[in-house]
Structure 1
């Protein structure tokens, strides 16, 4: 750990966490994230690796994103930073004990009543409202980067992805992607309205417990073209009319 790096962290008031403060029993969550126990915080945390460039530095990420939204209750809590020789710079953040939104719906949907679903929907909207008021666009909203901790929704992956998207034109999970981007991905720039579309799809998913267009996913570009043409999932019987009105307004205006 260099003195320069330590001084930098002190200047921006970010905790510099030593790797030996963690237990060695590590669970791999993905190619870039790991779950382990922190002796310092006496709790389970997650380490996530994020790559930076000369054009977008760790300082940019912290100043532009984390410093603005880390206190919101529906955004995954940022704890600190580790600089480790094997994995480089890694962020330490809270662990969501009930997994991703998709995992949560798979496991618990049959137990959720409409108050539970509305609570998840309100928390999602509140988190995105916080980002947008800080002039941050998520750009990659989907149920795999939204987490549930003690039945509360936690949003993640809103900063580094924002920068990566400037140079990446690859399609993500197309069900949640702005149709205007799907149609004109070479020139169209994702924006706050793109997040609004994604929210609409996610609100439908919360109401149904089902992956959007699940039966059509194997058809690839046929599904992509259908979404571009305006094909949307229909309302689930029993869904409150005002709820349908909200998410339908989000997804049908594209």
Structure 2
């Protein structure tokens, strides 16, 4: 089997214009993100931020190279999809170091995002994130493209949008079994037999694991993190992660079907996307219903008192003291209207303020959970 150096092949592809090449001088304000192998840079010509990943001069086989070329050609067909991280091409510095140029994600990987932000996520957020991943994968599968390396570090987050990465990168052409670090995302068929040819159903298995990870906020089988042999044994014996409490039943059934041991049982990506879309619609309807119910409770609430702010300087009123306690000073009507958010039952109507039994939230984002029921003289 013939072997060639990756950089030789890259030079050939650039000369044939099969790969886009950009002058290194087009990139400025370079900042190292990971050791010396990954840099963030401004791309002045396009007014965007990109990532430059250094390429090692690895030796690759003809088979690996041909497979990679086919993927690279297919990737051009999905270049502009919002849920796929863009690969722009190649650049080379003055020291003959090659770099692949990718779209930059300002919130990093899904793994790091969940670690930092998981407690802030609501269920509709999680389903939207699942839809983003599914939408990107649906685009790939519509072009008969198999990713074959889906995991939480290959999903990037940028301005609230998730995008599939790690596809069509040169790392895939030179992978040296490092994929077993992410074996929890790999279907059992491949773990049993490394020459098993993965297909779109393999991606669905990985997606199922990702859907579970969105519910937990942690890596799968993190309790076995340093024992890969034990993880492999458990996976081959059919072990899967337990469902997280309060996860919607439809969502649980979906990811369990995705990671089923039998590839023929796994749903196609279009079906997954449809189910997730319906689930998100249910959340939106429930949220709207809850908001309407809350608004009605406000309009029916007769437990408020009214205060004329024109008389406020000469009075020692309940509402005036609440305002002073929150903001530290008495404010006029326009200042109150500007600084208060109309939220949780605080009603401002021209000269009158009508606080109900709900909490008051200040504009400076300090949450002031002071409940009251009418005006008391000891306030």
TM score, norm. by length of structure 2: 0.59
Q: 1:190 aligns to what?
A: 198
TM-fit CA distance, 1:110: 0.6
Q: 2:289 aligns to what?
A: none
Q: 2:243 aligns to what?
A: 235
Q: 1:149 aligns to what?
A: 158
Aligned residues: 247
Q: Deviations over 1:21-63 (max 9, x none)?
A: 2225321335642212222233321012456757327x93675
Distance 1:194 1:134, change over 3 A: same
**Higher gyration radius (CA):** 2
Q: Aligned runs of 1:110-189 on 2, under 5 Å? A: 110-160=119-169, 163-164=173-174, 171-185=180-194, 187-189=195-197
Bigger RCO of structures 1 and 2 (CA < 8 A, at least 6 apart): 1
- Given the alignment of the two structures, is residue 199 of structure 1 paired with residue 204 of structure 2, yes or no? no
- Given the alignment of the two structures, is residue 209 of structure 1 paired with residue 243 of structure 2, yes or no? no
Distance 1:74 1:110, change over 3 A: same
Q: Deviations over 1:192-240 (max 9, x none)?
A: 2211111000000011111111112223212210111100011111111
Structure 2 unaligned segments of length 5 or more: list them: 1-10, 263-379
- Given the alignment of the two structures, is residue 252 of structure 1 paired with residue 260 of structure 2, yes or no? yes
Distance 1:164 1:225, change over 3 A: same
Q: 1:19 aligns to what?
A: 24
Distance 1:67 1:216, change over 3 A: same
- Given the alignment of the two structures, is residue 93 of structure 1 paired with residue 98 of structure 2, yes or no? no
TM-fit CA distance, 1:164: 4.1
SS at match of 2:163: strand
Q: 2:234 aligns to what?
A: 226
TM score, norm. by length of structure 1: 0.85
Q: 2 CA distance for matches of 1:29 and 1:193?
A: 33
Distance 1:178 1:86, change over 3 A: farther
SS at match of 2:88: strand
TM-fit CA distance, 1:5: 7.0
Distance 1:193 1:162, change over 3 A: farther
Q: Deviations over 1:134-185 (max 9, x none)?
A: 22211111111110001110111112455446x8586241111111111222
SS at match of 2:196: coil
